[in-house]
Amino acid sequence: MFSGGQDSTTCLAHALSKYDRVETLGFDYGQRHSVELQARLTVLQQLRTQFPQWAPKLGEDHVLSLDVLKQIGGSSLTEDVAFAMQADGLPNTFVPGRNLLFLTLAGALAYRRGLQVIVTGVCETDFSGYPDCRDDTMKAMQLALNLGLERRLRIETPLMWIDKAATWQMALDLGGDALVQLIVQDTHTCYEGTRDVLHAWGHGCGHCPACDLRAKGWQRWRAAQAA
């Protein structure tokens, strides 16, 4: 499951280092901006160009439309509203049901494509407040897919128990400085869709929750390297 962001790019590198055939899946769910959909194509091209050992493993790329999430509305990721906490204690960047639908469709696609593993960059350590990113949810979804599809599928979550600093380190371990720089320059995480400013940690507005998390992880990682 590949969005073109830092986490999913790191997970894609993890999959390419581990499996012989990797297909990528993105979703157009009515996001406020299409920057991440464009970024994912750039990242895929750069991976093929800069990492010839991985290029033969990269199979077909799929993008599925899921704009029903925009029709439901109510999220700052699908509507032009300010980022805020909701009355239920969750940030309004939470798109209810998003990852549940993503995993269901990923399972259906895996079924048709003869694939056995779904790799996703969800994480419980850098806690976002999203219940559909938690380990319990992933285990429940894996069971539901196995029962509902009558096919043995595994949901793999390489980032579940590590923080953003460790995610940067994972990228370095998997692909060296070249992969780290690819993530800095070509991936997209910023909720605002800003790409006109390049920080040490990548493009972004520098103040939305996604930028804040990514920047702080970079700072912790660089500090640990310098220690």
The tens place of each residue's pLDDT in the chain, 227 residues long, gives: 999 999 999 999 999 999 999 999 999 877 767 898 899 999 999 999 999 999 999 999 999 988 776 676 545 454 455 555 555 555 556 667 788 999 999 999 999 999 999 999 999 876 566 888 899 999 999 999 999 999 999 999 999 999 999 999 999 999 999 999 999 999 999 988 899 999 999 999 998 888 999 999 999 999 999 98
Q: Nearest CA to 189 among 9, 22, 11?
A: 9
Task: Tell me what pLDDT residue 67 has.
Answer: 78
The pLDDT score that the predictor gives to residue 130 is: 81
Residue 76: its pLDDT value, please? 47
- Longest CA–CA span in the chain (Å) reads 50
Q: What is the pLDDT of residue 192?
A: 85
Q: Which domains does the chain have, with CATH numbers?
A: 6-167 (3.40.50.620)
Pair of tokens at residue 44: 């895929």
Who contacts 40 (Cβ-Cβ below 8 Å, separation ≥6)? 2, 3, 4, 24, 26, 61
- pLDDT at 69 (0 to 100): 67
pLDDT tens profile 55-76: 999 999 999 988 776 676 545 4
Collapsed DSSP state (helix, strand, coil) of residue 225: helix
Query: pLDDT tens for residues 162-182?
Result: 999 999 999 999 999 999 999
